[in-house]
Amino acid sequence: MSFLQIDKVCKSFGSVNVLRDISLDVEEGGFLVLVGPSGCGKSTLLNTIAGLENLTTGEIRIDGNVIDDLPPAERNIAMVFQSYALYPNMNVGQNIAFGLEMRGMPKDERDIKVAEVAKTLQIEHLLDRKPGQLSGGQRQRVAMGRALVRNPQLFLFDEPLSNLDAKLRVDMRTEIKRMHQALGTTIVYVTHDQIEAMTLGTRIAVLKDGIVQQYGTPAEIYNDPANLFVADFMGSPAMNLIPATVRGNTVEMARVGEEPLVLDFKQLPDDVATRDGKEVIVGIRPEAITDADSRAAIRAGQQVTASCKIDVVEPAGADIYAITSLGGKEVVTRLHQDWFGQVNQHAELVFNLEKVVFFDRESGIRLR
Partner 1 sequence: MSRSTQPSFRTGKILRAALYSVLILFAVYYLLPLFVMLVNSVKTLDEIRGGNMMSLPEAFTIEPWLVAWSKAQIGVEPTGLSPYFINSIMMVVPAVAISTALGAMNGYVLTKWRFPGDKIIFGLMLFACFIPFQIVLIPMARVLGMIGIAGTTSGLVLVHVVYGLGFTTLFFRNYYAAFPDELIKAAKMDGAGFWRTFTRILLPSSGPIIVVTVIWQFTNIWNDFLFGASFADFDSMPMTVALNNLVSSSTGVKEYNVHFAGAVLAALPTLIVYVVSGRYFVRGLMAGAVKG
Q: Which residues bind partner 1 (CB under 8 A)?
A: 47, 50-52, 71-73, 77-79, 81-83, 85, 87-89, 98-99, 102-103, 146
Residue (62 or 268) nearer to partner 1, CB: 62
CB of 169 to partner 1, least distance (A): 19
Q: Count of CB atoms within 10 A of residue 368's CB?
A: 11
- Give the separation between CA 147 and CA 86, rounded to whole angstroms: 11
Four-residue CA torsion sign, 115, 177, 232, 44: negative
CB of 39 to partner 1, least distance (A): 18
CB of 144 to partner 1, least distance (A): 13
- Residue 277 φ/ψ region, left for φ over 0, alpha for ψ in the -120 to 50 degree band, beta for the rest: left
Q: Count of CB atoms within 10 A of residue 219's CB?
A: 10
Residue (139 or 355) nearer to partner 1, CB: 139
Q: Phi/psi at 354 (nearest 5 deg)?
A: -70, -20
CB of 111 to partner 1, least distance (A): 17
Residue (50 or 190) nearer to partner 1, CB: 50
CB of 25 to partner 1, least distance (A): 23
Residue (87 or 112) nearer to partner 1, CB: 87
Q: Count of CB atoms within 10 A of residue 124's CB?
A: 14
Q: Phi/psi at 129 (nearest 5 deg)?
A: -85, 160
Residue (156 or 263) nearer to partner 1, CB: 156
Residue (97 or 289) nearer to partner 1, CB: 97
CA dihedral 279, 283, 284, 286 (to 10 degrees): 120
CB of 46 to partner 1, least distance (A): 11
CB of 78 to partner 1, least distance (A): 7
Tell me whether strands 186-191 and 31-35 are parallel, antiparallel or unpaired: parallel
Q: Count of CB atoms within 10 A of residue 76's CB?
A: 14
- Give the separation between CA 9 and CA 357, rounded to whole angstroms: 31
Closest residue by Cα to residue 247 from 234, 236, 263, 231: 263
Residues 6 or more apart whose Cβ sits within 8 Å of residue 160: 80, 81, 82, 84, 140, 143, 144, 172, 176, 189
Residue (3 or 98) nearer to partner 1, CB: 98
